[in-house]
């Protein structure tokens, strides 16, 4: 039975075959379209042009959700890709499948084939998001999202602020000045991953008990405890 190796938005993976007369084909399914989809195709083409042993075949499956569903269906049919890009919400499912023998973890695969991997090259919060409860990377961080803050420097200058605040405490200190000048201090998206997951990840904090759900079904959300305190 083939297994998946994985790239989580991230990549996860299965085993491949080859023959002596042609390049080894490696099928990579992904869930990006538009510009990002074009970049993935470019990455594959550049790799293919760089050597004569392997041929990466990228296949877009629509959205992240569509690709996840297609990967699961393909595995059940015994025709899964070697690599599948899985978004953050699907990471827990893929990590769990390592124990079931469905997915080959990234570090496990690297050790098996003698590939040296320095996990410290990755930002801890991102690396750990796609790791198992022992901290071993199951997926390879790829195209991981980050949030950006835009500042209106004209308004900041108007209230006497010369630099963009770099911490929550810095922002809190000037927010009232901005409001008193007749402006709204902050406009933000309420997407949970931006202001909750990123905060906990950046500070290497657990979001739930049960070791973030790795060891047991979560019963407490630490965000609520933090807010209540």
DSSP codes of every residue in the chain:
---EEEEETEEEE------TTSPEEEEEEE---HHHHHHHHHHHHHHHHH-SSEEEEEEE-SSHHHHHHHHHHHHHTT---SEEEE-GGGHHHHHHHHHTTSEE-HHHHHHHTT----GGGS-HHHHHHTB-TTS-B-SB--S---------HHHHHHTT--S---SHHHHHHHHHHHHHTT--S------HIIIIIHHHHHTT--SBHHHHTTSS----BHHHHHHH-
In a domain, 203, yes or no: yes
Please check whether residues 95 and 117 belong to one and the same domain: yes
Query: Are 131 and 137 in contact, with CB atoms under 8 Å apart?
Result: yes
- Domain hosting 11: range is 4-129
pLDDT digits (tens, 9 = 90+) for 147-173: 888 999 999 999 999 999 988 889 898
Please check whether residues 113 and 211 belong to one and the same domain: no
Length of the chain: 229
Please check whether residues 17 and 121 belong to one and the same domain: yes
Q: Which residue among 129, 158, 173 closes a domain?
A: 129
Please check whether residues 76 and 120 belong to one and the same domain: yes
In a domain, 138, yes or no: no
In a domain, 219, yes or no: yes
In the predicted model, is pLDDT for residue 59 greater than 60?
A: yes
In a domain, 135, yes or no: no
In a domain, 24, yes or no: yes
We report the CATH number of the domain holding residue 104 as 3.40.190.10
Structural domains in the chain (count): 3
Please check whether residues 54 and 104 belong to one and the same domain: yes
Please check whether residues 94 and 174 belong to one and the same domain: no
Please check whether residues 51 and 99 belong to one and the same domain: yes
In a domain, 10, yes or no: yes
- State how far the Cα of 31 lies from the Cα of 180, in Å rounded to an integer: 45
Q: What is the pLDDT of residue 177?
A: 93
pLDDT digits (tens, 9 = 90+) for 87-116: 877 877 888 788 778 888 888 889 988 989
Please check whether residues 168 and 214 belong to one and the same domain: no
Please check whether residues 94 and 152 belong to one and the same domain: no
- State how far the Cα of 24 lies from the Cα of 18, in Å rounded to an integer: 5
Query: Are 142 and 6 in contact, with CB atoms under 8 Å apart?
Result: no
In a domain, 137, yes or no: no
Please check whether residues 14 and 89 belong to one and the same domain: yes
Q: What is the pLDDT of residue 228?
A: 61
Q: What is the pLDDT of residue 179?
A: 95
Most confident of 7-11, 78-82, 221-225: 78-82
In the predicted model, is pLDDT for residue 18 greater than 50?
A: no
Please check whether residues 10 and 114 belong to one and the same domain: yes
Please check whether residues 11 and 83 belong to one and the same domain: yes
What mean pLDDT comes out for the span 58-71?
93
What mean pLDDT comes out for the span 61-82?
92
Q: What is the pLDDT of residue 11?
A: 58
In a domain, 136, yes or no: no
Q: What is the pLDDT of residue 207?
A: 82
């Amino acid at each position: 039975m083939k297994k998946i190796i994985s790239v989580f938005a991230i990549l996860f993976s299965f085993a491949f075959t080859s023959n002596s007369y042609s390049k080894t084909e490696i099928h990579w399914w992904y869930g990006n379209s538009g510009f990002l989809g074009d970049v993935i195709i470019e990455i594959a083409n550049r790799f293919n042009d760089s050597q004569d042993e392997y041929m990466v075949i990228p296949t877009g499956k629509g959205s992240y959700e569509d690709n996840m569903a297609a990967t699961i269906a393909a595995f059940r049919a015994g025709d899964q890709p070697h690599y599948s890009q899985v978004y953050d919400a699907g990471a827990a499912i893929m990590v769990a499948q390592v124990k079931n023998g469905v997915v080959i973890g990234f570090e496990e695969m690297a050790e098996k084939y003698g590939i040296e991997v320095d996990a410290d090259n990755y930002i801890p919060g991102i690396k750990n998001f796609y790791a198992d409860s022992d901290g071993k990377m199951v997926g390879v961080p790829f195209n991981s999202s980050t949030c950006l803050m835009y500042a209106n420097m004209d308004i900041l200058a108007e209230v006497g602020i010369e630099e963009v605040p770099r911490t929550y405490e810095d922002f809190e200190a000037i927010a009232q000045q901005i409001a008193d000048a007749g402006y709204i201090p902050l406009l933000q998206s309420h997407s949970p991953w931006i202001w909750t997951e990123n905060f906990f990840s950046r500070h290497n904090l657990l979001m739930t008990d049960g070791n973030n759900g790795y060891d047991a079904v979560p019963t407490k959300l630490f965000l609520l405890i933090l807010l209540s305190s």
